[in-house]
Structure 1
Amino acid sequence: MNLRTLKKLSKRAAPLLTLLGDDRRQFPAERGENYTGLVITARKHWERRRSVHPDLWGEHEIKTPAKDGDGWICISPPGHPRKGTIMVGALEGYYEPEWDEKTAWEALRDIVFIEFTDWGEDECSLTRRLDTPSDILRAAESLVATWQREARR
């Protein structure tokens, strides 16, 4: 997934979240201010920087020696979504509430996976195929239809 795809999926997910009862605040992301928990695999969008310290690297980062021999070049997946990506957020916690946010796509994906997971005693398994974003959007739309049918009764 790349940042552009994430932005488009979040735009499609936002109205479905409202229909599924997610009442968190929805807002567009600002450049460099909001965070995503997804690992963006398209290296075109990865952040690049130079360092003289070879041992300070994270889990998904790649380091290579600089061609000019002066330090290391590090590339890492971005932690920020693209400007304008629809986010959902709310204060969570009791004694010391903290702001928790994620992209609308992540929130929808979490709801769908929870609804279509069979929780057994020792294991859990999916009750529906959820391999692609299209599968997740179809599952969310069927959830909305089911919940609206039940609400009419």
Structure 2
Amino acid sequence: MNLRTLKKLSKRAAPLLEQLPFAAGQQFPAPRDDDSYHNTFIGDRKHWDRLPCHPTYEARHDWPGKRGAEIVFMTRAGRRKILRPPTDARKGTIMVGGMSGHSEPEWTEESAWDALYGYVSAHFTEYVPGSDGEDPHLTRRLDNPSDVLRAAREIIDDQLSGHVI
């Protein structure tokens, strides 16, 4: 996924979030500055920091389950450089944010797509007993964005009709 795709998916997810029963927080477009953070892994490397590269790459994996989340390479001058995927959203991406915490509240935010995906995946997660406690298991296939959007629409339709999935 790249930042442009995240912006488009967030725009499609925003009206669905308003119809879901949980209060996700207030929605707002991401400002121009780099202060709006998202949780989506941006694997398209054209959005990563561009620095002169040298073929001595060493892949490091800071993001669980994601390959190539960080690239460490040596420059010709012998200095180490690190390339990381962006964590700030593109200007205009629909964000969902609000205050959270009891004794020391803090501002938390995420893209509308992250919020919708989190809600839908939590809705279709079943915890089955395993060897080391309870293991989460998805009861529905959520492999691509169309699966997630379709599932969100079905949740909304079922809640309007009074059924529970």
Asked whether the two chains share a fold, i.e. TM above 0.5, the reply is yes
Q: Is structure 2 residue 140 aligned with structure 1 residue 128?
A: yes
Q: Is structure 2 residue 75 aligned with structure 1 residue 66?
A: yes
1:3-152 map, 5 Å: 3-23=3-23, 24-31=25-32, 32-48=34-50, 59=62, 60-67=69-76, 69=77, 71-122=79-130, 123-150=135-162
State whether residues 48 and 74 of structure 1, in contact with CA within 8 Å, keep that contact through their aligned partners in structure 2: no
Secondary structure of residue in 2 paired with 1:48? coil
In 1, Cα distance between equivalents of 2:143 and 2:5: 16
TM-score scaled to structure 2, two decimals?
Answer: 0.80
Name the Cα RMSD after superposition.
Answer: 2.0
Q: 1:120 to 1:70 in 2, by over 3 A?
A: closer
Q: Which amino acid aligns with 2:156?
A: V
The C-alpha deviation readout for 1:76-101, integer Å capped at 9, x for no partner, is 10010111000001101111111111
Q: Which amino acid aligns with 1:41?
A: G
Q: Looking at secondary structure, tell me which structure has more helix per residue.
A: 1
In 1, Cα distance between equivalents of 2:102 and 2:51: 39
Q: Which amino acid aligns with 1:95?
A: S
Structure 1: gaps of 5 or more residues: 51-56
The C-alpha deviation readout for 1:4-35, integer Å capped at 9, x for no partner, is 00000000000000100343100001230111
Secondary structure of residue in 1 paired with 2:162? helix
TM-score scaled to structure 1, two decimals?
Answer: 0.86
Q: Percent identity among equivalent residues?
A: 47
In 2, Cα distance between equivalents of 1:94 and 1:125: 31
In 2, Cα distance between equivalents of 1:49 and 1:92: 37
Q: How many residues align?
A: 144
Q: Which amino acid aligns with 1:2?
A: N
